[in-house]
Every structure is written in structure tokens, then in C-alpha cells.
Amino acid sequence: MKNKKDNSKSVFKIFRNKNFLMVLSVVLSFALWITLSSTSDIDTTSIISDIPVTLELPAEAQKDNLQVFDGEGLTASVSVTGNKVTVGSLSKSDIVVTAQQTNTITAPGTYKLPLVARKAGVKTGYDIVSQVSPSFITVTVDRFKSVDMEIIDNMTYHVDENYYGTTILSNASVNISGAEAEVDRIARVEINGKIDGILTSSQTVEKPLVLLDSDGNEIKDSTVSLNVNSIQATISVLPKKEIPLKLTYINKPAGLKIEDSWLSVTPSKILVAGSEETMKNLQTIDLEPIDFSTLQNKVNNMTLDINLPTDCRNLSNETAVNISLDLSSLVKKSFVVTKFESQGLSSSYSLDTTTKSLTVTIIGTEDQMSEITADDLTAVIDFTGKTDVVLGSTDMNVTIKTGNFKKCYAYGSYKANVIVSQNEQLV
């Protein structure tokens, strides 16, 4: 037992000896060198993968704006054999794989091209011993094309009978780009979807774009690029109701009653949709005022535009109203007006009317026209609201007043020449 302990201590003493450890290191290093030297000449085989395929179009094809669309980004692999150390250090950057017979590419189409591999760089001691895998690639060559196409709303839904629904798309169009032949396949772009239930409020959904050919079939294998692949569709749901159209007038005699039989308005009301607040307050739609000074004593036909609040929609699609106003029962006469007056002119100015008479046309009911005379008429020169009074001689619009004859009006427009001067300021 004592001898065993003494032997163990002797072994440990040897490994603590620096000279022994130095000699041992040299011996082991030499043995390792002998081992590596004896195996470095042994050949080995390996597969180099993910080598990018290089494809260069001929000059004429490039000049014709041809590009490779389906076939870019392809990779290949090859088998190599050689010195074990060298082969072990190879990477895909040490091999070049090139598509051959590219001179056959002269027009848009699909081409099958063979692949070959060669060494790249300066490394030696290995050989490429197999065909490229794959040995051929298929590429699509075409011209680049980019178009903008309208997105067609094909959403289906149902709204309550007292509401109106319309689809608002987040994008009105989509940009489509890629191979010309692929882009030309697309005849229509839609957004499809169905919303269940009866809608009384707005909803928003996101749906993918659907590409269709000229026969209406969905294209699912297209290689084109879209600037957006899906968009939002908002189903805007608004209350709706019929709103009557209201006629308004200017220069209409205060006492003249327009009989129902005189007037025809088509349409007399329209169907309108709008926000809750607007529809609550919208009771009538006022049309552009009809100026009585332009109406003769006959059947007057006119067309007026229908203007709605900006947040409303005209569901009747009636943009104008046709009006027929029959004033043929009224009587027309001419008078010479010699009485002039002004109103609204500041006391800082003086007015001299150089026009002394005006021949005017008066239209009115038969009973009043039989009594009215020129003495009942006054030509009024109105300065009310004018801040830029022109000094000197100028022509001014005049309004013809008919006094107590409230069922008569002046037909046409009239002017009078006046001289305006500024009064001297008293100190």
C-alpha cells in the first residue's frame, strides 16, 4: 500500500517538472504534424450549394429594353473534389455558375438555358467533377410595363330602407408593374366582400385586391407587383329623405300672388342623403332666386341648378330643375319716368342727376295697369353699402319704384348718369 502511494507521488512530480512538460509538448506537436502531413494529400469530395446563377442578356436584347423577370435570384450547386484542406475551405464565392446560349434571347418569351460552372478566384488543388444542378434553368424575358388601374367596388351589403349606403375606398387606383405580357393579362381590379345584416351605421373592412382577365376570371398566378395588395372599404351609411325644392324671387312685386296654375316646377322634390345633423335641419332646398325684372308677360321657361350642402348626396341624380312661369295674364305698358331720387349717399357728397327722363316698361295686373301713371313711378339711385363712391360723372343702376301699385314691376334694367361731388368741410 505504501509503495502505491509512493509511485503516484512520483508520477505527479514528473508532470510538475517544467523540463519534462516542454519535451512532451515538442513530441506531441511533432506527432500531430506527422499526422496532418500524412493526410493532407488525401482527396475528398464535397457539394458547394447556393451558388448564384449569372445571366447576362445580349446587347441587342438590352437595347430592345428586354429584362429577365421569372428566373432572377436562382441558385445552383456543384460537386468538387480535391485536397481535403482546400476543399474544406471552399465557399460559393469560389465558383461561378453562368447561363449559356443567351444569344438565343431576341424577343419576349420563355427560354431554357444550360448552366456551366467554372472556378473563380486563385484557389487551386480542386476540380469541379459534376454537372451543375440543375443543369438547365427556365427564364421569362419581357419588357417592363407599369400602369395605374381603377379599383372597382364589388362589395355587397344591405342597408335599412331609410338609409343610403355607398362604398368609399381608401385607394381609388392601384399601380401594377412587371413583365408586359403579365400586366396585359389584367383587365380589371376589384375589391370583393359581403357584409351580413341590415346596416344602419357605417362600417370599415380591409379586403385584398382581386385581379381579373378580360373574361372575368380571377388571375391567381400573376407575377406582377402591386403598390398595394389590400385596401380599406368604408360602407358609408347615411339617412335619406325627400326634400322639396323652394322657389325664391328678387324684384317681385309684394302684392302679386303667383297662382298655382301659373307655375310648373319639375322636379318639385328630390331624394337626398346626408349626415344626421344636416338632414335634421334640411327642410327645403332653396333654388337660385328668379329675378322678376327679367320676366315678360308671357310663359317664361328657365332652368336652375340644384345646389346641396357639401355633405349631402343627390340620390335622384337631378342636377337642375325646369321651371315654367306663365305671366301671360299680366299687362305691359311703357312710361316716361321724370322723377329721380337717391338713397344711401353720405351727407359728405352732393348728387346732380344729369339724366332727366327714362323710358321704362311696367308689367302688372290688368286692374292696376289701368290706373298707374308715370307720376306714380320713381327712379331710385341707390348708394346703400357703397364705400367706393366715384366722384365726377358716372352711370349708376336705378331701381324703378311703382308707389302704391304693389302688383306691378319694372321689366329690364336701367341706368342714369349722375355727377357726384364732395361737399366742403366746415371748420
Question: Tens digit of pLDDT for each residue in 314-355?
Answer: 999 999 999 999 999 999 999 999 999 999 888 888 999 999
Question: Which grid coordinates are listed for 65?
Answer: 429594353
Tens-place pLDDT, residues 188-210 = 999 999 999 999 999 999 999 99
Tens-place pLDDT, residues 115-148 = 999 999 888 889 998 889 999 999 999 999 999 9
Q: Where are the domains of the chain?
A: 2-39, 43-134, 147-239, 247-326, 331-422
Instruction: Tell me if 277 sits within 8 A of 310, measured CB to CB.
Output: no
- Which residues of the chain fall short of a pLDDT of 50? 38, 427
| % of the chain at pLDDT higher than 70 | 90
User: Hey, how many other C-beta atoms are within 10 angstroms of the C-beta on 219?
Assistant: 15
Instruction: Tell me if 280 sits within 8 A of 239, measured CB to CB.
Output: no
The reported pLDDT for the residue numbered 379 is 96
* Residues, the chain: 427
Question: Which grid coordinates are listed for 397?
Answer: 343702376
Region 43-134: CATH code: 2.170.120
The reported pLDDT for the residue numbered 390 is 84
The reported pLDDT for the residue numbered 10 is 56
Check if 147-239 and 331-422 are the same fold.
yes
Question: Which grid coordinates are listed for 210?
Answer: 382581386
Tell me if residue 384 falls in helix, strand or coil: coil
3.40.50.1820, 2.170.120.30, 3.20.20.10, 3.20.20.70: CATH of 331-422: 2.170.120.30
Predicted TM-score (pTM) of this structure: 0.62
* Helix runs in 137-193, H state only: 180-185
Question: Which grid coordinates are listed for 95?
Answer: 465558383
The reported pLDDT for the residue numbered 427 is 46
Q: Which helix (H) or strand (E) holds 232?
A: strand 230-246
Question: Which grid coordinates are listed for 21?
Answer: 512538460
- The counts of H helices and E strands in the chain are 7, 29
Q: What count of Cα atoms within 13 Å lies in the side-chain half-sphere of residue 100?
A: 8
Q: Topology of 147-239 in CATH?
A: RNA Polymerase Alpha Subunit; Chain A, domain 2 (2.170.120)
